[in-house]
Amino acid sequence: MGERGTSHAVTVEVNGEKVSRIVAARQLLVHFLRDTLGLTGTHIGCDTGNCGACSVIVNGKLVKSCMILAPQVDGATIETVEGLADGDSLSPLQESFHEHHALQCGYCTPGMLMSATYLLRQNPDPTDEEIRRGIRGNICRCTGYVNIVKAIRAASREQASGGRPVPAAAGEEV
């Protein structure tokens, strides 16, 4: 039987780096990332799982890290916004967001980029409607989504025309 308790040992691979910590059972994954690991790129915009600012990819699946407890991800591979760029080289979506002014305050941007990354992995050539469905769970208050849709579309076209692809998922889907 698994250990029962108010704190748990958790080992995860975050952006390619293996980390182990003792976490409180009540700690949400987003607080684990931000407060325990100091990965503050993942943001908090609501407290009901509606805004998507905390979106990360766990075992290849896009999730909201405020809707998962830290002990639940033991053994998982986690991708956050901090892992999107390859060193100083921005990912094609990051580039595209910049070029198309798809961010203003930048607060939703990390979650939005994770959703867009997941979307293009699942569907490399989405229609505008599919893009909008893909980011339905990410609220942006600044852009009216206009340039975000444009940036994702442009990144997908860039990829289709032989540009750099969206990085492949880390970890297996489970």
Partner 1 sequence: MTITSTPVTGEATKTWSGRSMPRKEDGRLVQGQGSFVDDGGMHGQGYAWFVRSPYAHARIVSIDCEPALAMEGVYAVLTGDEAKAMCQAPFFAIAPPPGSLMQEWPLAVDKVRYQGDAVAVVLADSRETARDAAERVVVEYEPLTPVTDTVAAADPAAPLLYDEAGTNVAWHGLFDYGDVDWALENADHVVKLDRLHFHRFTSSPLECNGAVVDFDRGTGVVSVLSNYQMPMFAAMVVGPTIGVPMNKFNFVSKDIGGAFGIKIGFYPQIAALALLSKKAGRPAKWTEFRTEHMLTAGHGNERTFLDVEVPVMADGTILGLKVRAFDDAGAYLHYEPLGAVIWSQVVPGCYKLKHVRVDYTEVVTNKCPVVPNRGYSRMQHLWLVERIVDVVAHELGLDPVEVRKRNYVQPEDYPYETPNGCIYDSGDLPRSLDIALELAHVAEWRERQRELGTGTGRRIGIGIGSTLDSGTNNFGQSRIINPDLPFSGNGEAAFAKLDLFGEINVNLGTTPQGQGHETTAAQVAADILGVTPEDVTVTTGFNQANNSYVGFSGTYASQFAVSGLGAVMGAAQKLRHQIVKLAAFALQAEEDEIELEGGSARVRGDEERAIPFIGLSNMVYTNNAGLPASLLDECDLNARYVYVPPFEVPDTVAKTGNLTLTYASQVHVCVVEVDEETGEVKVVEYAAVDDCGNRINPLVVEGQVHGATGLGIAASLYESLDYDESGQLQEPSFYEYHVGTAMDIPDVACGDIESPSPFTPNGAKGMGEGGGAPLHAVCAALQDALGAGAPVVSESHNHWARVYELLHRDPGAPRGVEVVTRTAEPGAGVESL
Partner 2 sequence: MLLEQVEYVRPQSLDEALEILANDDGAAPLAGGQSLTNVLKNRVASVDVLVDISRLDDLAGIARTADGGLSIGACVTYDELDRSADVRQTHWLLGEVAAHIEDQQIRNKGTIGGNCCLSDPTNNLPPLLVALDAVMELRSRAGQRSVASADFFKGYFATALEPGELLVSVTVPPMPAGSGAGYTSLAVGADAKAMVRAAARVTLDGGTIADSRLVLARVAHVPVRDTDAEARLNGGDATEESVAAACAGVADGMQPIADVHGSSEYRRQMAKVMARRAVSQAVAAARGSRNGSKAGGN
Q: Which residues are at the interface with partner 2 (CB under 8 A)?
A: 1-6, 8, 24-28, 30-31, 44, 47-49, 52, 55, 61-64, 66-69, 71-72, 74, 115, 118-119, 133-134, 136-138
C-beta closer to partner 1: residue 75 or 141: 141
User: Cβ of 76: how many Cβ atoms within 10 Å?
Assistant: 21
C-beta closer to partner 1: residue 73 or 149: 149
Question: Considering the complex, what minimum distance in angstroms separates the CB of residue 14 from partner 2?
Answer: 18
> Quick one: what does residue 67 bind among partner 2, partner 1, none, with the CB cut-off 5 to 8 Å set by partner type?
partner 2
Spatial distance between the Cα atoms of 9 and 81, rounded to a whole number of angstroms: 24
What are the CA-CA distances from residue 2 to residues 9, 12, 27, 174 (Å)?
11, 17, 18, 19
> Quick one: what does residue 71 bind among partner 2, partner 1, none, with the CB cut-off 5 to 8 Å set by partner type?
partner 2
C-beta closer to partner 2: residue 8 or 100: 8
Which H helix or E strand runs over 37? none
Question: Considering the complex, what minimum distance in angstroms separates the CB of residue 24 from partner 2?
Answer: 8
- Locate 30 and state its tokens: 């987003």
CA angle (36 as vertex; 20, 13 as ends), nearest 5:
40
Spatial distance between the Cα atoms of 103 and 114, rounded to a whole number of angstroms: 14
Spatial distance between the Cα atoms of 124 and 117, rounded to a whole number of angstroms: 10
C-beta closer to partner 1: residue 51 or 76: 51
